[in-house]
Structure 1
Amino acid sequence: MALTQKTVQNITLPATYQDKNGLALRVTKTGSKSWIFRYQKDGHRHDMGLGSFPLVSLADARAACLELRVKINSGIDPLAEKHQKAKQTITFQDEALERIEHYKHEWSTKHAAQWFSSLRDHVFPKIGLMPVNEVDADAVMSVLEPIWREMPESARRVRNRIELVLDFAKTRGNRFEDNPARWRGHLQNILSGITPEVEHLESMPYSRMPAFMEKLEGDITRAARCLQFVILTACRSGEAMGARWDEIDFETKMWSIPAERMKSRQPHQIPLSDAAMGVLKDVHTRGRSDLIFPNRSLKAIMANNSLRRVLTRYDETATPHGFRSTFRMWAVEKTKFPDEICEIALSHSVGTATTRSYSRGNLLERRRSLMDKWANFVMECSNPPKTKGKDISIDE
């Protein structure tokens, strides 16, 4: 029996009540009422929502059913059509924010913030409100061309992030075309010819390191101690600034950095020289903070620019990260250590995953020799040899 407007108003028992032409009224336990349209397509039954009662009256629901029946008779699947229209309204910004939310538990807070800020500053103003399925090569180029020469490193990261967002959208079924942000065989044909040389972060010549370390020895600030630790361990500044006391094994003189704090998302161990252990002794925060180099409150890491301020204080143009290049150049020109050991010391991936798993253990002691020799070199002015004329040899 077909429903009437009065019947629909008076129904309270939870159930699904059939009308005609596939229209039905669904009543829930809470008393809410909504219209559904039931139809068969390719041997499968589908339920399509038409709105709630009384916002949608019985007459309006019946009229909507008749329109949908016409589409079905024309070979159109109304539910698939509805989903397709919904996908066309999903913007690039929607998909980008969804990807950040999806992966942020695997990222550091800093990395997630960098992802968002780069898209906010360079991408969203240009193509953020475009349907993600309509982003094409022209749209991608409108983002990249203004920054490709002026901000090459940022531009490369932005391109990569656009590509990842569009791949993410395709996997989720919200995009169907090829990725217009891919580099190989596509954007490289347009942008590689105008790519400037990568501007590397400025480093300090290794010949100046002993004199500079002597300056740091006379600096009583915690930031200076942290910068010394960065130099002596050849680590990234963020890894040192976030270092915790429970990561240090004082017996084996080893610093174990967990995967979540590493750029590579792989755990990394650094053998600590006597000079690096001396820095830990001089910082005087053990037992007062979980962090080795905390801020003044002892509760959080120091400001991001703390190490740069130390360099500025001494009129140095080098960057904290640049000391990794200083270490690498010294190792190449002044030692005979294999490249593999030097690269692993910088936490760079070497070889395959299998070869890395076999080499991790037996390279630690060889890396310890490398770090000891580096410490002896940079601390030369602070710790002059006690015995003149006697060579100090270190096993390479």
Structure 2
Amino acid sequence: MSTVLHRLLKIAEEQRLTSDDFARTLSFVKVRALKAAGQHADGGGLVLHVSASGSKSWRHRFRLDGRPQTLTIGSFPAVGLEEARNAHRAARWLVARGLHPLKHVEGEIEREQAEKQARTENTFGAIAENWMTATASNLSPRTVKHREAMLAKHVFPILGERPIKEIVRKDLHTLLTKLDQVSPVTAKHCRGYIGQIFEYAEDAELVEANPTPRAGVLVKAMGRSVKPRKALPLNRLGEFLRTLEDAPETDPLTKTALKLLVLTWSRTSEVTGARWEEFDLDAGTWVIPADRMKGKEPHTVRLSQQAVRLLRELRERSKGEVLFPNRRKPGETMSRTTLYQWRTRWGFADIMDVHGLRAVASTWANEAGKYRPDVIEVALAHKEGDRVRAAYNRAQFVDEVRRLWQDWADVCDEKLKIARAQNVVELPKAAA
């Protein structure tokens, strides 16, 4: 059954078009027996057309806007007499209202297909996927995974299949305030992502305005104070380094990764994802590419002598392109969790976060009073808002930042030396 015929029959059913104001002249037996070529009228403009080859088709002949028109309803016997008559009644009903049956039905089909497409292609979930794809290149892999997980767990189950233009502020208010009661931090992240998705949709003219509620609706999130990362106290740095070196059951790769983290002031993901192609050990440099940096700008670490020595030792036993391969998942790099677990296992979880190792180095440098604040910021890879000034700083601070990292490595050695001296236990002398 053709789509047009199906629509005409549906109109006949909806409008209850079951009778005629004229006499019908054909019957099923007569229709089946007809063989003479030509037009065989049934009444009201419905005819059975028999071709010279003997094929039969139903046609409705009518006038619209003063012009004769013909609508082909379908072939016999695929379209029986009663179906043809019901479709004919629907066509007559449309013509009486000044509508061309075929154009009207095709227009309705096109409209419904457009609405269906809008429901499937312009759902919140579909637009969100497009937004994530369009913006992923500007983000770190960690952020990409984070927002995908947040939306998949907390937003898509509620809004994912809804047309984005039908979502109103009240819908978002309900979702976010409920989430705020359970997990304020998650609610804050989800509100940010939802707002960006609607901005994307607004720019594409898929919605007229962004309905995302103001941040104030997240009562718990707004009232939650941000806790700084726990930084290892400087007076316990030696203890940390001594424990790290002496830990008997710790994999050498884990030890090296944590030591490199301390010596370079780098972020955890920057260390665990490091590749040998980024290093020039002869020049004492490590250039971390932009796509692995939080600020999306390349960062050069001026390696201290201790860091170079550590890396040369690692290079001798390294077999692949990455410094810290994942032992359980071939092809991937070491999980940051490995470093977090070491901190917990060896009793440092209460006083430090792994990311907080950057803070202890920064605190030492600032309190030392020997290093310019701008130099410290460059070492920490903090992004400078003024691009011209940032370029100048990085060009001018090479010697200063190298000296800063070398001084810090020397401090680490000194702290370790003191910790080892304090850990020495003198045995009682044997009796004479």
Task: Give me the TM-score of the superposition, normalised by structure 2.
Answer: 0.65
Quote the Cα distance in structure 1 between the aligned partners of 2:223 and 2:139: 29
2:301 paired with 1:267: no
**Partner residue, 1:135:** 167
| 1:357 aligned to which of 391, 397, 402 | 391
The number of equivalent residue pairs is 325
Report Cα offsets for 1:40-71 as digits up to 9, x if no partner: xxxxxxxxxxxxxxxxxxx89962513688x9
1:327 aligns with 2:348: no
Q: Which residue of 1 aligns with 2:233?
A: 205
Distance across 1 between alignment mates of 2:101 and 2:230:
71
**Which amino acid in structure 2 is aligned with residue 278 of structure 1?**
R
Q: How far, CA to CA, are the matches of 1:147 and 1:213 in structure 2?
A: 42
| Pick aligned residue for 2:127 from 85, 95, 99 | 95
The 5 A counterparts of 1:194-343 are: 194-219=222-247, 221-284=252-315, 288-296=319-327, 299-317=331-349, 318-343=352-377
Shift of 1:276: 1.5
Q: In structure 1, what residue type is equivalent to 2:342?
A: V
CA contact (8 A) 1:285 1:292 kept: no
Cα distance in 2, alignment partners of residues 284 and 302 from structure 1:
16
Listed as ranges, the gaps of 5+ residues in structure 1 are 8-19, 24-58, 72-77, 385-396
The match for 1:370 is 404
Q: Percent identity?
A: 25
Q: Distance in 2 between matches of 1:80 and 1:329?
A: 65
Distance between the aligned counterparts of 1:114 and 1:165, measured in 2?
15
Q: Which residue of 2 aligns with 1:66?
A: 104
State the Cα RMSD in Å.
3.6
Contact 1:88 1:133 in 2 (8 A): no
The CA deviation at 1:266 is 1.0
CA 1:87–1:290 in structure 2 vs 1: closer, same or farther (change >3 Å)?
same
Counterpart secondary structure, 1:255: strand
Contact in 1 for aligned 2:180/2:218 (Cα 8 Å): no
- Which 4+ residue blocks in structure 1 deviate beyond 6 angstroms? 4-7, 78-82
Corresponding position: 1:113 with 2:145:
yes
Aligned residue for 1:14? none
Structure 1 residues 86 and 296: alpha-carbon distance in aligned structure 2, compared to 1, 3 A threshold: closer
Contact 2:285 2:300 in 1 (8 A): yes
Change (3 A) 1:154 1:364: farther
Candidates 157, 163, 169, aligned match of 1:125: 157
Question: Quick one: distance in 1 between partners of 2:50 and 2:403?
Answer: 89
Equivalences for 1:18-29 in 2 at 5 Å?
none
Q: Matches of 2:178 and 2:257 in 1, distance apart?
A: 38
What is the TM-score with the length of structure 1 in the denominator?
0.71
**Partners of 2:123 and 2:50 in 1: CA distance:** 43
The worse-fitting range, judged by mean Cα deviation, of 273-282 and 59-68 is 59-68
State the distance in 1 between where 2:191 and 2:130 align. Answer: 18
Asked if structure 2 preserves the Cα contact closer than 8 Å seen for 1:245 and 1:286, the reply is: no
Equivalent position of 1:347 in the other structure: 381
1:107 Cα shift?
4.1
User: Are 1:177 and 2:209 an aligned pair?
Assistant: yes
